[in-house]
Amino acid sequence: MESSTALLASFQPNYLLYPSLRSSSIIFSPPQSHFFSPLKFQLQTKQLSFASSQFFSPVSRNATLSDTYSETFEELADIDWDNLGFGLVPADYMYVMKCGQGGSFSKGELQRFGNIELNPSAGVLNYGQGLFEGLKAYRKEDGNILLFRPEENAVRMRQGAERMCMPAPTVEQFVDAVKATVLANKRWIPPAGKGSLYIRPLLMGSGAVLGLAPAPEYTFLIYVSPVGNYFKEGIAPIHLFVEHELHRATPGGTGGVKTIGNYAAVLKAQSAAKAKGYSDVLYLDCVHKKYLEEVSSCNIFVVKGNVISTPAIKGTILPGITRKSIIDVAHSQGFQVEERLVSVDELLAADEVFVTGTAVVVSPVGSITYLGKRLSYGEGGVGVVSQQLYSVLTRLQMGLIKDDMDWIVELS
């Protein structure tokens, strides 16, 4: 196991950490937040702790320390953990790494969270050359931190980058950057059972380009925010409107990768549905207009007896990591899972319906409205299958049951 002293010694000596290499902790004065003012902070120094099987540091081997970074171990930020929603709560640090066109990402750095500077002609602003990911960190009762399948997000970003003509961090660089960012913002991770730390990696064409072409420079950035439930209903059933005129994706397009433009395209239908009291929109395929695709930012599952069906990944549907995990969990619980074309008629005849995603995890569907007709499932409560799968997956993510799937990365 690498020692922390050896790791820190590998950095250039002009960083803020250098004067205190022999110290077990370094304290900084936290910035005032515009969202929570004034904040109260209780500082508590602790010894660095590492997992026995693998070395974890707030700074990865692929990172340097910006002159704004200082290592600190503190009590939790003083915010109302019992009433977290799904909105941005600025944390302390973000991770930034850059590379040129045709090059490779090398060393990134932790910087104070804040605005970034972009040329008005940046590729991401003019041509939408950008991707993002989403994953979560959870705090256990013993204080250790859990990440859920971060390597899957790394692989998906690389697949999306190939489609969008962008270089991407390696899987190792991605995962190391996530670990570094999470540990640098550890005090913003909610107490066990109070929520999670949402982690948002971005990859964008940050270089200036006027004509339509790949950008000459790329930025990989990670920021984080503590979050509660995505839907205001929480685990309570949500209500979906089936959209049959507007479409999220087309065959041969970018619906199967997590590019930024996919999400702006759903805002019109989503806003109209929410204005009418619906939770979100379920989209149909654009060719036959009768097969289910996905909700604005979630995959959908239909339950009939012991069979759980979900639309197959065929280029227009995002290969969700929670989707993939739920399929494996469902198999382990004795369900038959089918990935195939699922018609809207099957949706109408289902025993139960639920959606999955990083933000929502598993959310039961209480009703769907299609062509002016509303259909409710069950008696308006949480379906048995939805509850079962939600319980197994969330208990696994939070470290409450044994991880037989080898999905969890634990940081201490």
pLDDT score of 102? 86
CA 73 to chain centre: 24
Report the length, in residues, of the chain: 412
Whether this prediction's pTM lies above 0.95 is answered by no
Give strand ranges (E) for 217-316. 217-227, 238-243, 280-284, 292-295, 299-304, 307-311
Annotated catalytic residue: which of 107, 136, 258, 290? 258
Residue with tokens 């009433």: 83
pLDDT score of 381? 79
pLDDT less than 50: residues of the chain: 1-58
Catalytic status, residue 289: no
Domain 238-405: CATH superfamily is D-amino Acid Aminotransferase, subunit A, domain 2 (3.20.10.10)
- Which is nearest to 136 in space by CA: 182, 189, 196, 94? 196
- Which is nearest to 197 in space by CA: 351, 397, 339? 397
Domain ranges in the chain are 93-228, 238-405
What b/e readout covers 84-96, taking b as 16+ CB neighbours within 10 angstroms? Answer: beeeebbbbbbbb
pLDDT score of 110? 98
Token output for 229: 């439930």
Q: Is the dihedral of CA 249, 304, 230, 410 positive or negative?
A: negative
Largest separation between any pair of C-alpha atoms in the chain: 69
Distance CA 206, CA 220 (A): 9
pLDDT score of 38? 32
- Please say whether the beta carbons of 185 and 161 come within 8 A: no
Distance CA 373, CA 294 (A): 20
CATH class of this structure's domain 93-228: alpha beta
pLDDT score of 52? 31
CA 13 to chain centre: 34
- Please say whether the beta carbons of 169 and 161 come within 8 A: no
- Which is nearest to 7 in space by CA: 58, 79, 41, 66? 58
At residue 12, φ and ψ (nearest 5 deg) are -65, 145
- Which is nearest to 231 in space by CA: 134, 379, 393, 86? 86
